[in-house]
């Protein structure tokens, strides 16, 4: 039995799982050195910057620009959510009036892991800072 090639979707799932695992381990290692307040502050800034990088790369790859970005924003957000966290968290969003969206988080593996680790009271979730970077 030899090594079989993994389908693209499975490689993407493993990549996301590894990224989120790295992210959590990085956060808690830094927090043990610098404390939660400073680490939370850094994590918020890093996630905003990562979100801006992700949307820039996505838009370049998609070829969308100008008014098309606003027109396709719901699809852009959905595509980024699927790429970044389809199996890490479950988020639903609803377009409201104008350019307003409502987001509902049904499940978040980062939150679940933080609760299990006993640090839920110290950790400040930066996931929405990442999404904010997309907008």
Domain ranges, ordered by start, for the chain: 10-134
Please give the biggest Cα pair distance in the chain. 56
Digit-coded pLDDT (tens) for 61-118: 998 888 888 888 878 888 888 888 767 777 777 778 877 777 787 777 777 888 888 8
Instruction: Supply angle C-alpha 76, 19, 127, rounded to 5.
Output: 55
Q: What is the DSSP letter of 125?
A: -
Among 9-18, 44-53, 95-104, 110-119, the range scoring the smallest mean pLDDT is 95-104
pLDDT at 30: 95
Q: What is the pTM of this model?
A: 0.80
pLDDT at 121: 85
pLDDT at 64: 85
Give the integer Cα–Cα distance in Å for 2 and 111: 38
Confidence of residue 1 (pLDDT cuts 50, 70, 90): low
Strand 101-108, strand 89-95: pairing: antiparallel
The DSSP-derived string for 97-124 is STT-EEEEEEEEHHHHHHHHHT-TTT--
Confidence of residue 21 (pLDDT cuts 50, 70, 90): confident
Distance of CA 102 to the CA centre of its chain: 17
Give the integer Cα–Cα distance in Å for 98 and 74: 12
Q: Provide CB contacts within 8 A for 87, sequence distance 6+.
A: 13, 16, 17
């Amino acid at each position: 039995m030899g090594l079989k090639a993994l389908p693209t979707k499975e490689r993407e799932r493993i990549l996301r799982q590894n990224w989120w695992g790295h992210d959590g381990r990085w956060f808690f290692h830094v927090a043990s050195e610098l404390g939660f307040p400073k680490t939370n502050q850094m994590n918020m800034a890093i996630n905003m910057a990562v979100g801006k990088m992700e949307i820039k790369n996505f838009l370049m790859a998609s070829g969308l620009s100008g008014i098309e970005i606003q027109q396709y924003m719901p699809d852009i957000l959905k595509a980024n959510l699927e790429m970044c966290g389809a199996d890490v968290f479950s988020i639903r969003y609803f377009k409201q009036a104008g350019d307003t969206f409502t987001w509902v988080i049904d499940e978040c593996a980062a939150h679940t892991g933080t609760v299990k680790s006993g640090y839920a009271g110290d950790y400040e979730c930066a996931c929405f800072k990442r999404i904010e970077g997309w907008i």
